Amino acid sequence: MKNKDYFILYSVIALMLILLFLKTKYLILLYIACIILIFPILFSFAASWLDNYWRKFGKMIGKIQSSILLGLLYISIFPIVRLFKKKSVQNLSQSTWEDAEVAIIDFTKQW
């Protein structure tokens, strides 16, 4: 990662706050956007440090969130599949399965 990547992050956050200010007309959002734009310029070390920990926090939340989502998918999808499978097993009388004839093979003379 480049050293100046955090400028892009703070710029995007400030842009979103400015767009939100234009929609809601809350002046505090414009002040916060200006502070966010000035922060990485004046305190570049603190901005990069904050960006580094923010990315680590995001990865940690991503691992937790993906585990929860996969667990919910597992809990919700497999019972539905089980219901459909039960219905198909109950129709065994309509099955086209045929029993195979058992052949008696002498294994003493294989070659």
pLDDT tens-place string over residues 49-100: 877 888 899 899 988 888 888 888 888 888 887 777 655 555 556 666 667 7
Of residues 41 and 88, more confidently modeled: 41
Express the helix, strand and coil content of the chain in percent, nearest 5 each: 75, 0, 25
Backbone CA torsion sign across 18, 9, 40, 54: positive
Backbone CA torsion sign across 28, 11, 9, 54: negative
| pTM (2 d.p.) | 0.45
What amino acid is encoded at 3 in this protein? Answer: N
